[in-house]
Structure 1
Amino acid sequence: MPVDIPLRKTLSAGKKAPGAWLTLPSTAIARTIARTSGVTWMLVDAEHGLITDKDYYDLTNAIASCGVSPLIRIPDEKPWMIKRALDSGAHGIMIPMANSAEIVRNVVAACKYPPAGIRGFGPMFTHATGAIGGDYKADADQELVIAVQIEHPNSVRDIDAILAEGVDVVFIGPFDLSVSMGVQFGSQEHEDAIATVLAACQKAKKTSAIFCLTGEQAQKRFAQGFDMVSVTTDIDTLVDGFASALSTATGNLKEGTASSGYAT
């Protein structure tokens, strides 16, 4: 059977791709969110979440079983980390802090089998893609999604060179970007940097993506022209939903209630 990547099919059809962010190593939560109508991809966060590579296989299969593409964000661009994520059946990987074209070039090489790259062969557990062994290898180089995060002014400056290195998705991390730029989140300078990356993606005909925490943020980014946007995270949904119900029940939402570590 060929490799089956729903996210790539959605993007190839020119459709917008809303997604979800998973920080908790729970197949029950992953499957529950993935079964929500309209979700096309789910980010398995092994950088900032509680997820480690021992959780990869179960999570990728739980998500893919719902017709949704699991992408794994690994902590660093190390080739062995990329290999572990892809060999678990991930439909693609995301690399944080892709701050130079050289980093991205090495990431792309680590995602592809020789002669195109340096990835070692061992797809015994890639069931979530719909293929294993030789069937998997035949499609993996072309079908798996390579996403890199733009989170630093250096990567904004070098965005054209980064896009030329064979990535599929450029994914803006707006919170780290504002911090690394030393500007306020949502300021004109911050939004100008985001607009620069978006325009470069559109010119290069590459998928533009950005992290959002709320439906309102996601709606704004889709309207700006982004192709792929996270709508919220598992922990935000859990805490915000409970806090809202508690507020209704008691009429008193305590000051300081926060759903995640992100703040705007």
Structure 2
Amino acid sequence: MSFASRLRAGETLYSGWSSVTDPLVMEALCRTPLDAVLLDMQHGAHDTASVVALTGVLRANQKPALVRIPVGRFDMASRALDIGVDAVVAPMINSVEDARLLAASMKYPPLGERSWGQLRGRPASYGEGGSGAYLRESNESTLAFAMIETIAAYEVLDDILGVEGIDGIFVGPSDFSIAWSRGAEVNAASDAIIEPLTKIAAKTKAAGKFAAIYAANADMANRFSALGYTYLALAVDTGYLTLGVQSILDGLKKA
């Protein structure tokens, strides 16, 4: 089953978060039970070349690939789909116009304005390449997530959810905490943001779309899952390395 079909079936999915471009690191992530891996082009080191290379590693290991594009790079959203990713997360979607631009870049007509030009072939289940069935199924199977990280975005959430071609909302809780506190703190675990995060998840589900969020650790993932989020991106690859070393050292101290 595809990443999209698993979400539609009601599964809760957990992806890794990749900021390092090394293929050996990606191969290691592919050996874990993670449901997918997201490649971060906004704050991570990824560029077009690394997305091409590591999407190939993920596809070879039957792991869905997701990409977070840089702010405003809607051209990269459609390019990432041509490369073969399963979903795109777009940061700082602060208006209906931002959401429309994202949807237009992600979806073939009549939903959007994505142009035809495949770098990698899509799954055979999409129907005959270039057919109307292929275009329709591709629109359904490649997901567009709009990131909600600001007060401005929160205030127009209903309108963003109403944009055809937006498949889900992805919350950046650290940025959201900065905005919610008016710059007083950066705290993704703040109790102050629980109410708005709950409303975001509920409104997203009511709109028939997917609620996603970044979770820096297992406690936060469990907390956000309880609020109604069904796609959770877990921590970051550099953090996995640090935690692994720390767990070994902690074990030595106990011995």
TM-score > 0.5 by shorter chain: yes
> Structure 1 residue 13: deviation in Å?
1.3
Q: Where do 5+ consecutive residues of structure 2 fail to align?
A: none
In 2 relative to 1, CA 127–24 (structure 1 residues): closer, same or farther, beyond 3 Å? farther
| Distance in 1, Cα, partners of 2:122 & 2:50 | 13
1:148-163 alignment, distance < 5 Å = 148-163=146-161
Matches within 5 A, 1:201-216: 201-216=204-219
Indicate yes or no: 2:162 matched with 1:168: no
Q: C-alpha separation between the residues in 2 aligned to 1:55 and 1:160?
A: 35
Identity %: 26
| Residues 1:199 and 2:221 aligned together | no
Establish whether residue 44 from structure 1 lines up as the match of residue 39 from structure 2: yes
Provide the rounded CA distance (Å) in 1 between the counterparts of 2:168 and 2:30: 21
What residue number does 2:50 align with? 55
| Distance change (3 Å), C-alpha of 1:226 and 1:79 | closer
Q: Does 1:117 align with 2:116?
A: no
**One-letter code aligned to 1:153:** I
Query: How much has 1:50 moved relative to structure 2?
Result: 0.8
Distance 2:138 2:231 in 1: 21
**3-state secondary structure, aligned to 2:117:** coil
2:22 equivalent in structure 1: 26
The C-alpha deviation readout for 1:140-170, integer Å capped at 9, x for no partner, is 2221111111100111111111111131120
- What is the aligned partner in structure 1 of residue 236 from structure 2? 233
Cα deviation, 1:55-100, whole Å, max 9, x if unaligned, reads 1121112112222210111102333222221111111211001111
Aligned AA (1:51) = H
- Give the unaligned 5+ runs of structure 1: 252-264
Which residue type is aligned with residue 200 of structure 1?
A: K
Q: Secondary structure at the match of 1:43?
A: strand
**How many residues are treated as equivalent by the alignment?**
245
Structure 1 CA distance for aligned equivalents of residues 61 and 84 of structure 2: 14
The one-letter code sitting in structure 2 at the alignment partner of 1:70 is A
1:9 aligns with 2:5: yes
Distance 2:227 2:144 in 1: 23
> 1:260 maps to which residue?
none
Conservation of the 8 A alpha-carbon contact between 2:96 and 2:163:
yes
Check 1:129–1:41 CA distance in 2 against 1; reply closer, same or farther (3 A cut): farther
SS in 1 for 2:215: coil
- Once residues 77 and 141 of structure 1 are traced to their aligned partners in structure 2, the CA distance between those partners, rounded to angstroms, is 21
SS in structure 2 at match of 1:230: strand
Q: Distance in 2 between matches of 1:162 and 1:235?
A: 33
2:37 aligned counterpart, secondary structure: strand
Measured in 1, the distance between the counterparts of 2:49 and 2:41 equals 10
Give the structure-2-normalised TM-score: 0.87
Contact 2:197/2:227 (<8 A) preserved: no
